[in-house]
Chain A
Amino acid sequence: MAGLMSGFGCFTHAVVRAVPQSLARDALRSGGLEVDLLKVQEEYEEYVSVLKHRLGLEVLELPADEALPDCVFVEDAAVVCGDTALVSRPGAQSRRREAVKAALTELGLNIVEMTDESATLDGGDVLFTGREFFVGLSKRTNQRGAEILADAFKDYAVSTVPVQDALHLKSFCSMAGPGLIAIGSSEAAQKALKVFEKLKDHMLIPVTNQEKAKVDGGLTCCSVLINMKKNI
């Protein structure tokens, strides 16, 4: 880390996890739609291929664990910024064991563990703009979790955004570029938008979601992005 903000949006590695068979039946969801497992597999492979070949990232693929149907959504398991990784404590009980700690340790990151049992945090609720963090307070992430994140990443300001009618903060928004947040047009998004509007200089663009939305998955859910540029 030659600087706090050098290369925001630039990453060198990606940690992903294979799709378990149990996803189709047991993955947590809000809707009741049927899931085509084959299609999920296809999407996943395409996704990894883009990361590897189009974006040139080094992809670390973790094996699926049938006991953890949501394990493909590795983003929720950890928050990585700079060379520190916060191994989070997902809000959903069934996801508590989705540890990616070993893989992150292997990559040489400083590991911070969220051991406080009153804290919950899903990585999907954490939006890093390059300058600060926004933590969505949702059904999966609480205030205490946000505080622990603030402690782990002392360099940055951490602000909270209330998230209603959506699973995660990043279910309806994401970074689209430096200083640019893309935000959805749903009601939940609009509510959160008001909070974002209080902040200066963030541009907001509406986008749409995809198949994984059926199991409340978004684009960012499927990877943990890491910048491994070793200036340190």
Chain B
Amino acid sequence: MACLHDHSCEEHDCSSDWSLYKHIDLSKVSALNEAVSGSVKSVFRAWEQRLNSSEGHLESNEGDPELIVFIPFTSDVKIKSISIVGGADGTSPAKMRVFINRDGIDFSDAQSMQPVQEWDLVENLQGVLEYQTRYSRFQSVGNITLHFPENFGGETTQIHYIGLKGEATQLKRDVVATIVYELMPNPSDHKTRSETGGGLSQVE
């Protein structure tokens, strides 16, 4: 499931593969059980910056290692693999379960629902490990929820970087917004331009 990043990066540009962070709707990213509200937004960066957590990292509350990260995208994406850089001293997450296209998952939902896929993570402080997805299930992802139920024994769970590799389509997954429903059709609601005395009407 995990592959080591052992080739030299001159052959292909690694950073472009990991560019799904550009399609993340950062304003709507949220996390549950984070110690500092809003710190989750700092873990999405470019591949080259993955070890540079000068702007802060995501940490769970004291004594409670569970974390949920909700990531919406600006358009539907296909996700090939995920990379997580955790913290040292047992604060790295040990397991990851993901859910796709579900809004508002909280801890009781996450624990009872069957995830789309789950992985056992290892400590990945250098950010060289990536976890591949079952690509067929990750074909049109509007938002993804990551649930980290355990860590390696630390008091809190720390996440310094979350990287997503894949492609972005241009399709937007829009919620049905304003639609007028008709119980009975009323012709007066649907006047064409010819009837209202407007311009030329085409006869086809």
Q: Do A and B bind each other?
A: no
**A interface residue numbers (CB < 8 A to B):** none
